[in-house]
């Protein structure tokens, strides 16, 4: 049994900040305490070693470390370093700017895989889109990275993901009916607070910076609330109230790794067993024998086209039955 007694614990906030270029996303992340930023666009360079003053008059200088990379392996390595405690006491916030760039890297990699396959088959590279299988791999990579962020939050470290936005249009594709972050659609469920940043041009010609609350598990703000000059100070008291509490460190990333490895192992076994079963079927010369095997397959709900999708246990049963008919 893995249940524990429910108790108040210290956690870090998981924030998703998205919006158009110049809407204040980068400055928002730098209002968090002791920030280490994974910068995939070199946009954070404009703020390194400088005071950042918001329109509300508050000044921040919280950027401690920067890693300039858009490499997925390095992103994962950085997350592992934080989870393993390499920066304990030095860093209180990890920001990723931008998630969109890493998502694009995944899509480019998947497209290149499909293009290589098309070349090998003599097909048209221009027609090579991302296959369902590759989209599945992109989802798995995203899940792996998100689980690492959740684990980091469980240690009491804040996580801020910055993303660009894309427009949502009506069925005619003409009218803009909303906006969403340009990242994998599944990840939004993992964040505690989601903000969409935007700007307003005031009557005097100046620009003001705002954020609409899309989601907030903390209940510090309300969904639909419009916040001028959004900054971490709004949630500071909520998270400071957890100081002194123990953390409940999770290992979701390791859980996912174990589950994924188990699935891969099962898939590999199924692939080998399916090939063996097909080879046995090719040796059948008696129609009655083949009908008996087909009946068992039907009873098991197994299609010859989906043999690789069956469990090793089912395939082993089919193989043993088929071999028995040959005896």
Structural domain contains residue 130: yes
Q: Which residues contact 163 (CB under 8 A, 6 or more apart)?
A: 16, 17, 18, 98, 99, 100, 181, 182, 183
Which stretch of DSSP H or E encloses residue 111? helix 99-120
pLDDT at 235 over 60: yes
For the segment 254-275, the average pLDDT, to the nearest whole number, is 65
pLDDT band at 211 (very low <50, low <70, confident <90, very high): very high
Of 226, 247, 268, the residue that ends a domain is: 247
Mean per-residue pLDDT of the chain: 84
pLDDT score for 260 = 46
Q: Are residues 221 and 238 in the same domain?
A: yes
The more confidently predicted of residues 140 and 96 is: 96
For residue 275, the tally of other CB atoms under 10 A from its CB is 12
CATH of the domain at 41: 3.40.50.300
Q: Are residues 85 and 122 in the same domain?
A: yes
Structural domain contains residue 4: no
pLDDT score for 263 = 53
The whole domain housing 134 covers 14-247
b (16+ CB within 10 A) / e for 198-237: beeeeeeeeeebbbbbbebeeebbeeeeeeebbbbebbee
| Per-residue model confidence as pLDDT tens digits over 277-307 | 988 888 888 888 888 888 999 888 888 888 8
* Tokens 């980068």 found at: 26
pLDDT band at 149 (very low <50, low <70, confident <90, very high): confident
- Asked whether 206 and 51 are in contact (CB, 8 A), the reply is no
**Exposed/middle/buried for 174, CB within 10 Å: 0-12, 13-18, 19+?**
exposed
Tokens of residue 298, six digits: 């039907």
SS3 assignment, position 251: coil
Cα(56)–Cα(246) distance, integer angstroms = 34
pLDDT at 1 over 90: no
Backbone angles phi, psi at 53, to 5 degrees: -110, 125
Q: Say which range, 32-46, 178-192, 206-220, has the weakest mean pLDDT.
A: 178-192
Q: Are residues 271 and 202 in the same domain?
A: no
Q: Are residues 213 and 129 in the same domain?
A: yes
Q: Are residues 317 and 175 in the same domain?
A: no
The conformational region for residue 173 under phi > 0 = left, psi -120 to 50 = alpha, else beta, is left
Structural domain contains residue 47: yes
Over its C-alpha atoms, the chain yields an Rg (Å, rounded) of 26
Structural domain contains residue 5: no
Backbone angles phi, psi at 122, to 5 degrees: 75, 20
Q: Are residues 239 and 293 in the same domain?
A: no
Q: Are residues 65 and 140 in the same domain?
A: yes
- Asked whether 151 and 250 are in contact (CB, 8 A), the reply is yes
Q: Dihedral sign for Cα 173, 177, 179, 183, please.
A: negative
Structural domain contains residue 94: yes
Q: Are residues 296 and 240 in the same domain?
A: no
Cα(214)–Cα(216) distance, integer angstroms = 7
| Per-residue model confidence as pLDDT tens digits over 92-121 | 999 998 888 877 777 776 666 666 666 666
Q: Say which range, 208-212, 262-266, 316-320, has the weakest mean pLDDT.
A: 262-266
Q: Say which range, 18-27, 78-87, 196-205, 260-269, has the weakest mean pLDDT.
A: 260-269
* Tokens 């950027």 found at: 63
Of 197, 214, 247, the residue that ends a domain is: 247
pLDDT score for 158 = 95
Q: Are residues 144 and 51 in the same domain?
A: yes
Structural domain contains residue 261: yes
Q: Are residues 33 and 72 in the same domain?
A: yes
- Asked whether 127 and 232 are in contact (CB, 8 A), the reply is no
Q: Are residues 273 and 221 in the same domain?
A: no
Q: Tell me whether the omega of the peptide bond preceding residue 98 falls within 30 degrees of 0, making it cis.
A: yes
| β-strand partners of 201 | 207
Structural domain contains residue 129: yes
The more confidently predicted of residues 258 and 73 is: 73
Q: Are residues 83 and 31 in the same domain?
A: yes
| β-strand partners of 193 | 15, 216
């Amino acid at each position: 049994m893995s249940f524990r007694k429910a108790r108040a614990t210290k956690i870090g906030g998981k924030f998703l900040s998205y919006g158009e270029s110049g809407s204040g996303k980068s400055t928002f992340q730098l209002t968090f305490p002791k920030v280490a930023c994974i910068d995939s666009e070199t946009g954070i360079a404009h703020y390194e070693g400088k005071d950042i003053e918001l329109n509300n008059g508050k000044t921040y200088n919280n950027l401690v470390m920067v890693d300039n990379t858009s490499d997925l392996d390095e992103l994962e390595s950085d997350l592992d370093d934080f989870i393993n405690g390499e920066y304990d006491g030095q860093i209180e916030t990890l920001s990723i700017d931008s998630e969109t760039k890493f998502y694009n890297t995944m899509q480019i990699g998947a497209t290149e895989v499909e293009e290589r396959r098309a070349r090998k088959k003599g097909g048209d590279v221009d027609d090579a889109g991302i296959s369902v299988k590759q989209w599945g791999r992109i989802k798995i990579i995203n899940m792996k990275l998100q689980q690492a962020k959740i684990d980091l939050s469980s240690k009491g470290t804040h996580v801020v993901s910055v993303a660009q936005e894309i427009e949502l249009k009506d069925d005619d594709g003409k009218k803009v009916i909303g906006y969403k972050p340009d990242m994998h659609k599944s990840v939004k469920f993992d964040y505690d607070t989601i903000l969409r940043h935007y700007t307003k041009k005031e009557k005097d010609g100046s620009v003001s910076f705002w954020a609409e609350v899309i989601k907030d598990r903390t209940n510090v703000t309300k969904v639909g609330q419009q916040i001028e000059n959004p900054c971490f100070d709004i949630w500071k008291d909520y998270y400071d109230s957890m100081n002194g509490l123990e953390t409940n460190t999770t290992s979701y990333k390791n859980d996912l790794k174990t589950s994924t490895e188990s699935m891969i192992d099962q898939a590999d076994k199924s692939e080998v067993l399916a090939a063996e079963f097909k080879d046995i079927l090719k040796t059948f010369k008696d129609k009655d024998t083949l009908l008996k095997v087909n009946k068992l397959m039907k009873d098991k709900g197994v299609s010859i086209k989906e043999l690789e999708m069956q469990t090793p246990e089912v395939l082993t049963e089919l193989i043993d039955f088929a071999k028995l008919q040959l005896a």
